[in-house]
Structure 1
Amino acid sequence: MPDFRKLLGESRIAKEMILYRDFEHQDIFDGMRELMDGGSTDNLYPTLNGLVEMANTHGFEGNVWHNFLAYILANHENAFSTTCEIRGKVEGSINTLALHDFRIFQALFAYDLAELDRELGTQEFGVLKNYRSATGISKVFNARIRDRIEELSIHLANTKSPDEFLDCVTQFYKEFGVGKYGLHKAFKVEHVEGGQAHILPITKTEHVRLSDLVGYELQKKRLIENTEAFVAGKKANNCLLFGDAGTGKSSSIKAILNEYYDQGLRMIEIYKHQFQDLTSVIAQIKNRNYKFIIYMDDLSFEDFEVEYKYLKAVIEGGLERRPENVLIYATSNRRHLIRERFTDKREADDELHSSDTVQEKLSLAYRFGVTIYYGMPDKKQFQHIVKTLAARSDLSLSEEELFHEANIWELQHGGMSGRTATQFITYLLGKEKSKEAKLS
């Protein structure tokens, strides 16, 4: 085991760090540093409490101290980590500075927690070497992210040199990114009065895939082509998915995120009342190495609403160019997004330049380079959707009985659509489980 005190001398770890400074849970780090360095034991139990509470909230198991250090490395955004995210290893002096910090991290990983128990006369630190969570459930992020951090901690603990440590961390940044944009794929916006908009992670997202959406192959193909060009760094257009309700517009966009997340695609959901924050949101993401889709669901405007004018300028038309790593994907039941009425024609007759009024209302939709129509399925298509979903769910009804029940259901629940079909299958599964419960 490396001589921890010899490596650090009389200095403090927090002061020794060059790149990895001022991170989350700094108090836990400082508490452990002081104990390992033979300093005051005043914060012994608060530090232990911090490690256990973090293990509980994050769902960590195994060596909690290693998991904690790996979390710092995975979550800390600095000049080195944000340069390596998605891109991988880079040249330059930044690597020398990173190696300085990684020598300290490697010593921290190598420190045996049982040594602390021997020095302090405790036995609790040994428990943290092979910790078992009561639930194994993370309250902060999903199991996939937790597992990645735990795997990183194991790999880093087994590295033999600072150079190998650097390569391991760099590979992680290349594959998964860093910070909230690396650890999460979907985000929402929270407006803070008097300050910039906060981009917050969405920890639980719907895990829908494009293959889950039955039919609409041409629509999905167009969406895939545009998105693949975008993630590949090629020219791509903003997308508007419009059409009938329940036909899979929103599901298609959610599926796109799940399909291309591992290629650096991220998604930020924003609502109409938050358009005032669009400039702030774009400013926060424009220099990152990820590709961001700003997602606007069920986008439409009443004729008295003027927010669409601001959106027009953000999409295209302002002095500042839209960053190459940002696109806008929107869904709407309206092709032209802004409500149009017969009275508009009468009002236009009284206007000197009536064509200008029409163009003003159409111009927002025209700023989406790709528009994709999702129409209501006919009866044959609806039955195909129902049959496919029933087969995936292993329902035992005959085709005749299935279609008969589906016809009754759609008449009572809003007509034929993919959403109606999904709700119908959910209803049948619920009935089936109820029967099984009664039999048991």
Structure 2
Amino acid sequence: MNNYLKDVRQSAFSLVYYRNILQDRLLVLYLDIVSLLLEKELTDLKKEELQNKYYELLSALLDKGGKIVTTGHDLWRDYVVNLILYSENAFTEKAGAESYQQMAPVFHQLVQHDLRSLQQLACLGGRELRELVGEKLGNVAREILSWEGIKYGEKSNAAPTPITSLLEAFQASADWGMLAPTLAEFYYNHGVGQFAKYHFFRWVVNNGTGRLEGVEEPDKIRLEQLYEYRKEQEKVIQNTEYFLAGFPANNVLLYGDRGTGKSSTVKALINKYGVRGLRLVELQKQDMKYFPEVLKILRKKPQHFIIFIDDLSFEDNENEYRELKALLEGGVEAKPQNVVIYATSNRRHLVKERFSDKEITGYDGDEVRRMDTIQEKLSLADRFGITLTFISPDQKRYLKIVEHMVKERKLEISVQELERRALQWEINGNGRSPRTAKQFVDFLEGQLGLLKGANIS
């Protein structure tokens, strides 16, 4: 066993492309444990150190288990494969830009070597490590706790995703080196590093420096759940399909009343097409000055990106709308072919308008060419190739939305009672909208659930 542990440690130190994985906290703990296991005799102090590091690894791994993609097999092996999938290094960047077959043979040799080394690191699973630590500490092995048997990825009827399929391949393979072409194909089709891990991003600014931050738990809304608004969605779905197919696509403005599903429609597009490489980058209005920096990051990535600006509008004294006009069309830097802009707004023309803007005749203000300023404001919305209008539903449409939601959640209530309560909620709430409908059904589900629980008890 000592020779095997030496091989494990040596395999880590021989990594080339994936060497940055050694900085991972859990791998550091794992290798520290291996080093302590290799020592001939441990003092009481060293035994305490071994026990502490082992349980620190166990705690951290269990915490990570709920946050990574797993197969339901050995958790440590799944964790190591996740590190491989989302690693950013010279090979992964190259694989994201060109096919494995186009690479020189030396790249194949080096990545196969690294994968076999990482397999050596991953093969010491929960049961084996528990027994080795227990033996070293002088305890009975069963007294040492382990992650063995803990499964986060229970089998289900859900269709396999590219990530779960690759994880299963690693779990089943006796030679990870042979999976190099499959891994490279994953990078090429689904991205590298954070762009493979996340489908949603936000632009975060700290002390004047911006960066992309992946969203760990995005809204999982689906287009099918945005009831009664299929007609409004059709054109943006078509435009997105053209975009993903590599054809010219338009920037899109989703305009309309509050709570009608404008933002949800954009998020649902990512949930539908994320597996095809569609990503969303949320950019706040005040951060549009960072747009060139964002484009620089996205320009050469294989994915397609929607830059999403939610609730976009400008006061008449704000000048950022001029920056947005240049970004949409006519700026010095061309927008990459893999980027489009989707924005939502409650204002049709985006810039606040006043009655004085319409009163041109007899205007006695200080501005010489008042009409030019008005046209400049109105032209901002024209820079979006597609403008879609989302209006609040009438009573019939509102009740249909409520009925769809109740049916999806399988709530038991008569149609007459449901309609009575839904209309009462709308009167006392924020008016008719899909958002109001959802708020009502959320409340109704809780109310019915408590009543059912009380009746059972």
TM range (shorter): 0.7 to 0.9
3-state secondary structure, aligned to 1:436: helix
Q: For the residues of structure 1 that align with 2:300 and 2:146, how far apart are their CA atoms?
A: 39
Query: 1:104 is matched with which residue?
Result: 117
Query: C-alpha root-mean-square deviation of aligned residues, in Å?
Result: 3.5
Give the alignment of 1:224-243 within 5 angstroms. 224-243=237-256
1:68 to 76, 79, 85: 79
Query: 1:79 is matched with which residue?
Result: 90
Q: Please tell me whether residue 360 in structure 1 is matched to residue 366 in structure 2.
A: no
1:255 to 264, 268, 275: 268
- C-alpha spacing 1:13/1:417, structure 2 compared with 1 (3 Å): same
Q: For the residues of structure 1 that align with 2:237 and 2:355, how far apart are their CA atoms?
A: 37
1:288 to 301, 307, 322: 301
- C-alpha spacing 1:169/1:129, structure 2 compared with 1 (3 Å): farther
Query: 1:20 is matched with which residue?
Result: 18
Q: Which runs of 5+ in 2 are unaligned?
A: 67-71
Give the alignment of 1:114-263 within 5 angstroms. 114=128, 118=132, 121-122=136-137, 123=141, 128=146, 130=148, 132=150, 152=166, 155-173=169-187, 176-195=190-209, 197-263=210-276
Query: 1:418 is matched with which residue?
Result: 434
Q: Which runs of 5+ in 1 are unaligned?
A: 138-143
User: Would the aligned equivalents of 2:162 and 2:186 in 1 still touch at CA under 8 Å?
Assistant: no
1:402 to 402, 415, 418: 418
Give the alignment of 1:259-274 within 5 angstroms. 259-274=272-287
3-state secondary structure, aligned to 1:191: strand
Query: 1:389 is matched with which residue?
Result: 405
Q: For the residues of structure 1 that align with 2:449 and 2:32, how far apart are their CA atoms?
A: 57
Q: Deviation per CA, 1:315-336, whole angstroms, max 9, x where unpaired?
A: 3222111111111111111111
Q: Please tell me whether residue 428 in structure 1 is matched to residue 444 in structure 2.
A: yes
3-state secondary structure, aligned to 2:246: coil
- C-alpha spacing 1:282/1:50, structure 2 compared with 1 (3 Å): farther
Bigger shift: 122-131 or 333-342?
Answer: 122-131
Query: 1:92 is matched with which residue?
Result: 103
Q: How many pairs were matched up?
A: 427
Amino acid in structure 1 at the alignment position of 2:80: L
3-state secondary structure, aligned to 1:23: helix
Q: Deviation per CA, 1:165-190, whole angstroms, max 9, x where unpaired?
A: 31342354356543222112111221
Query: 1:377 is matched with which residue?
Result: 393
Post-superposition offset of 1:232: 1.7
Query: 2:69 is matched with which residue?
Result: none
Q: For the residues of structure 2 that align with 1:125 and 1:76, how far apart are their CA atoms?
A: 36
1:57 to 63, 75, 78: 63
User: Would the aligned equivalents of 2:190 and 2:303 in 1 still touch at CA under 8 Å?
Assistant: no
Percent sequence identity over matched residues? 32
Post-superposition offset of 1:127: 5.7
- C-alpha spacing 1:410/1:65, structure 2 compared with 1 (3 Å): closer
Q: For the residues of structure 2 that align with 1:157 and 1:377, how far apart are their CA atoms?
A: 51
3-state secondary structure, aligned to 2:17: coil
3-state secondary structure, aligned to 2:194: helix
Q: For the residues of structure 1 that align with 2:111 and 2:236, how far apart are their CA atoms?
A: 40
Post-superposition offset of 1:289: 1.2
Amino acid in structure 2 at the alignment position of 1:415: G
- C-alpha spacing 1:410/1:309, structure 2 compared with 1 (3 Å): same
TM-score by length of 1: 0.84
Q: For the residues of structure 1 that align with 2:434 and 2:220, how far apart are their CA atoms?
A: 17
Bigger shift: 178-187 or 325-334?
Answer: 178-187
TM-score by length of 2: 0.81
Amino acid in structure 1 at the alignment position of 2:76: W
User: Would the aligned equivalents of 1:156 and 1:168 in 2 still touch at CA under 8 Å?
Assistant: no
Query: 1:141 is matched with which residue?
Result: none
User: Would the aligned equivalents of 1:63 and 1:128 in 2 still touch at CA under 8 Å?
Assistant: no
